[in-house]
């Protein structure tokens, strides 16, 4: 049972489950030198139709600009992203994945997929559908 951190045990259980899933995936990614935070940044860069400004990346990820800068600095140090000058704003830079970054992104996505499949293997297709419907109802009421 989750440690009670709110006035609703269901919310605590949801938080605890999400936290454990993240730790589970994080451990698998760490074995390959990756992390959930780095995967999320690479995922957003890979899915973007063009290179992103740091501000856009931080807003999309829902993280502070400083945190995004730390993640991008780390990815850049490892040769996975590069900063390029913004064509219309000489003061700004855009971030894009390198070829090695694209390869690492694909590898990390596969690790993530396998870890989450393992973590949710005890759920049947019906269980998954019911859980998704219930979570959707909660999201619909918190817009």
pLDDT tens track for 10-58: 999 999 999 999 999 999 999 988 999 999 999 999 999 999 999 999 9
Structure confidence at residue 2 as a pLDDT band (50, 70, 90): low
The model's pTM is 0.86
Question: Does residue 91 belong to any structural domain of this protein?
Answer: yes
Residue 118 lies in a domain: yes
Residue 41 lies in a domain: yes
CATH number at residue 51: 1.10.10.10
- The two beta strands, 93-97 and 81-85, are antiparallel
Give the pLDDT score at 3: 60
Residue carrying structure tokens 């859980």 = 131
Note whether residue 19 is domain-resident: yes
Residue 55 to residue 12: CA distance in whole angstroms: 32
In a domain, 125, yes or no: yes
How many domains does the chain contain in total?
Answer: 1
Domain that holds residue 31: 9-139
């Amino acid at each position: 049972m989750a440690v009670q951190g709110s006035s609703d045990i269901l919310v605590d259980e949801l938080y605890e489950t999400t936290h454990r899933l993240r730790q589970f995936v994080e451990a698998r990614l760490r074995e390959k030198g990756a992390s959930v935070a780095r995967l999320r940044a690479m995922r957003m860069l890979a899915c973007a139709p063009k290179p992103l400004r740091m501000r856009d990346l931080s807003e999309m990820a829902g993280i502070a600009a400083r945190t995004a800068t730390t993640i991008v600095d780390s990815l850049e140090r490892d040769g996975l992203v590069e900063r390029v000058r913004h064509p219309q704003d000489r003061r700004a830079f855009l971030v894009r994945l390198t070829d090695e970054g694209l390869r690492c992104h694909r590898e990390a996505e596969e690790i993530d997929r396998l870890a989450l499949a393992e973590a949710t293997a005890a759920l049947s297709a019906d269980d998954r559908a019911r859980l998704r419907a219930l979570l959707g109802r909660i999201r619909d009421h918190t817009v």
